[in-house]
Structures are given as structure tokens and as C-alpha cells.
Chains A and B, each alone.
Chain A
Amino acid sequence: MQESSFRDPSGFVFERDGTLYRQINNVYRGNYELLLSSGLYKELADKGLLVSHREVVIAPENEALAYKIIKPDKIPFISYPYEWCFSQLRDAAMATLYIQKTALSRGMTLKDASAYNIQYFNGKPIFIDTLSFEKYQEGYPWVAYRQFCQHFLAPLALMSLKDIRLSQLLGVYIDGIPLNLASKLLPLSSWLRMGLLTNIHLHSKMQKKYSDKSFKGNKSAAVSKKGLLAIIIGLEDVVQSLRYIRGKTEWNEYYHDIHYGCESFNAKKRIVGELLAGLKPNSVWDLGANEGVFSRLASNCGIHTISMDNDPATVESNYLMVKRNNETCMLPLLMDMSNPSSFRGWANSERCSLAARGPANIVMALAIQHHLVIGNNIPFKKLAEFMASLGYWLIIEYIPKDDPQVQRLLASRKDIFDEYSQTYFEQSFSQLYEIRGKYGLPGSQRVIYLMVRKS
């Protein structure tokens, strides 16, 4: 059983011979049949909002519980909400609400609204949990309402109105940001916005008031279908009204304030493009990708590319470009390479680390090595080990000590990096990699290396 799917008794995901399957348990039989017969599955799958699947006949993983086995389409890379930029989380929220509205129109409802049920596939959000739909019963509230507010609304409001970096709270609170915490952190002005006043502040007060009281529901406490739809439309309004106003950050105008010559930059693009064309990889991870200029050399050739950066503003720009150009092979992600995503959740195995989601065919580390070595005191040997854990081929740019960017990093600190030299860089990487090529960038002392992992 996949460690991310054990919570739901309706079924689970398992892997056999490298293929992913989902077992549907007998307990979910009625809902699965309704999902198909109501036309909801077809409508959502046709719109690319629900992962497509086909039923297969193979031995179930747990025969005593099994009703059917389905084989869902493969999602090339699993990403998590704490790795998404503002617009990615907002698009995921809007997709969830749209799916819930469509489900209601077909007599079904979403029984959970976890942000982990959304993945990015072909550049767009897609719902991956086929077993999250159940029959709608008149009068019942939306059981996933609290979860939606914690997984989507609270982080979006905090990112929009307080600080964009608060998205990282999603990594700490695996079931979404508690509403009382969100209410405390949000600015006073948020009390003047009806959607946030109701769905976060008053909702949180109500949770506190009834925190130790049980209630099993009664007729007078029913929610009509129209009322439920009004809540969903209200949530759509408030999510849509939240904006991320980008200020100038250190990195989001990196290519505007270009710090080495046009000649070097163009040569770098040509060299990287030629290396990618020669290797013909099926996956590329670009570390420290900024707005994805070099990532696009791969993704524009149909190579599935993960474009990672630790600056929320540049990841946002990158994602907006993906949307604008309808790019299908590119996934921008927020990732701090000095502290990449680790295993999280129950027993440290529910959500995978970055390395566990690899290896990639090619790892590109262009103009990032000096930030890790000098900015974060990571020795070359440790850097080589980390890169080797992520992929087979490595395209890495060595930045010499007298480069203006390295000098900028050293301007406000003591130079303790006596071993920072091209010779030591090569020695350190040669222990794990075979160096296949060295390409100097004209007009600078920078060198691009092509390396392949020894084992």
C-alpha cells in the first residue's frame, strides 16, 4: 500500500511491477457505481479535472475487502501544497470548488477537500482521488468544509494579506493551517472582508465554542442544497478576491539586472541547449531555476521538467508563464535547496522527500553552487553527494571566487573558503561523477560541466 493512501477505508493505492493501481473496497461499491452512472466521472475526466482510469483484472492487494481494481493515469511527478506558489494553490482551490459544485449537480459530494488530492498534470490542477466522491444526502452539510478552509482558504489569505512565505506553514500542519492560528496571524483589516470574517474568523470562534461538545445532527440543523451551493459560491468569491501583489525581491528581476554579459548568457543557453539535445532525457530537474529560462530549453522540447527555486515571486512568475503559454511539460515548484522537502506526515512516510521522488535523468544546477557553498557553508563534497542523490546526469555551473556574484556573497562576511577553487571542485565531484565535458563561458570565468554519476 502506498503510504499516502491508508487513511480512507474506501480503498487504497498500491504499486505492482512499477505500475500504480487503486483498489476499491466493497464498502465504496455503491458510491463508485454512482460516480460512473451519474456521468460525474465522465464530465470531470473529459474536462481534465479528474484523473482518468480504467478497470483492470489483476489479483487484488487485499482480497477480503476488494471490489475492483483500477489503473489511474500516471502523474509524472507528485508535488505538495507547501511546494506550490500562490497561484498554484489558488488554482487548486478553485478546481476543488468547481469539482464540488459539479458533484452536487450530479447528486454527489466531495467527502474530503485535502489539497493533497490535487496534483499538477500537463500544467493544470487535476483531482487524483477517485474515491473522494460520495452520494449527496439532502440536508447534510459539506463534511469537507473545515478541511477546505484549513487547506486552501487560510494559507491563501495569509499569503495574500500577511506574508507570502507563510505557505510554508502547510508543511508543518499537514492537515491544513488551524483556523484559530490563521485568525490570530491575519491582519485586523481581514475582519472587514466578509469572506474571511465568516469562513475564518467567525468559523474559528465557533470551533472554539463547541470544541468539547458533541452533536450528531437533527432536522432543524439541516443545510439545504441551495444553501450549500451558496457557501461554495461564497468560497469561490473569496478565493478569487485574494491576490498576491509581487514586490521586487532579490530574484524576481534577476534576468533584468543581468550581472554578466549578454555574450556569456547566450553562450550558456546555447551550451545547455546542445547538451540537452545530445542527451535526450525524459526528465529534467532544474535547481535554482529562477523564472525558468533554462528549464524551458528542456520543456519546450517535450521533456518533463521540474523548475525549482526558493523565491516565491519567481516561482509565481514562472507558473503564470506556464499558464499563459499553455505549457504542458513544465512544473514550477518552490524549493529551498539548502533545506529541500523531507519525508513528512505519519511515521515520516506519508509525504516523500525530494530525492525519493527521483531520480531525474538530468539535474541542472546553473548559478546555484556558489549560493550553497558560500551562502550556506555546504562543502563541495556534500554538494556532490546531494546532487548524486537526485539524478544521473549533472549539468553544473562552476562560479569562480572572483566572479562579482561570489564577491557580493563575501562582501558582508569573513572569507573562510580557502578550499573554494576549481581544482577542489573537480576533485570533490570526481569522487562520485565522471566529468564528460567542460565548457567555458566567453566573457566570464564561469565553467559549465557535464558529469555522469559513476554508479
Chain B
Amino acid sequence: MVFAYIDLGTGSYLFQVGLAVFMLIFYSARSLIKLFFQYLKNAVIKLVKRR
């Protein structure tokens, strides 16, 4: 791989590869958790309204 005129460094390169995967999983999981809580909230509101 040809880098630009600044040095990324092997450590930073490889770290970025792992971090990208981790961040994708993290944000996907966070979005799912947010969706789950949104669903839970809506369900509770519905239940309260029915009663």
C-alpha cells in the first residue's frame, strides 16, 4: 500500500482495522438497543392507555 506523505505507522494501521470492525458492531448494537427500548416504551404506553 502506498501511503500519503505522512506516516500512518503499522500499529495505527492495524489498530484502525480492528477499531473499524469494533465500532461497526458497537454502533449496530447501540442502535438495536435503542430500537428495543423504543419498542418497550411504546408497548408500555399502549398498555397504560388500554387500562
Task: Give residues in A with beta carbon < 8 Å to B.
Answer: 7-10, 111-112, 134, 140-147, 194, 198-199, 202-203, 206-211, 213-217, 221-224, 226-228, 230-231, 233-234
Contact = CB atoms under 8 A, between A and B. Distances in A.
B14 interface: yes
Interface of B: 1, 3-17, 19-24, 26-27
Given A111-B4, A143-B3, A207 B16 contact: no
Given A198-B22, A223-B20, A228-B20, A7 B5 contact: yes
B4 A141 contact: no
Contacts of A227: 20-21, 23-24
Given A7-B5, A199-B19, 4 more contacts: A144-B6, A146-B7, A198-B22, A227-B24
Given A208-B11, A210-B11, A145 B22 contact: no
B20 A213 contact: no
Given A198-B22, A226-B24, A234-B23, A203 B5 contact: no
Nearest to B1: A217
21 contacts: A9-B5, A134-B4, A144-B4, A145-B12, A146-B12, A194-B26, A198-B22, A207-B12, A208-B11, A210-B14, A211-B9, A211-B11, A213-B10, A215-B10, A215-B13, A217-B1, A223-B16, A230-B20, A230-B23, A230-B27, A234-B27
A141 B11 contact: no
A435 to B, nearest CB: 52
A231 B20 CA distance: 6
Contacts of B23: 227, 230-231, 233-234
Contacts of B14: 206, 210, 215, 221
Contacts of B20: 141, 223-224, 227-228, 230-231
Contacts of A111: 4-6
B34 to A, nearest CB: 14
B4 A146 contact: no
Contact of A203 (B1, B4, B15, B22): B15
Nearest to A227: B20
A194 B19 CA distance: 11
Contacts of A7: 5
A214 to B, nearest CB: 6
B15 A202 contact: yes
A214 B27 CA distance: 31
B19 A231 contact: yes
A203 B21 contact: no
B17 A141 contact: yes
A194 B22 CA distance: 11
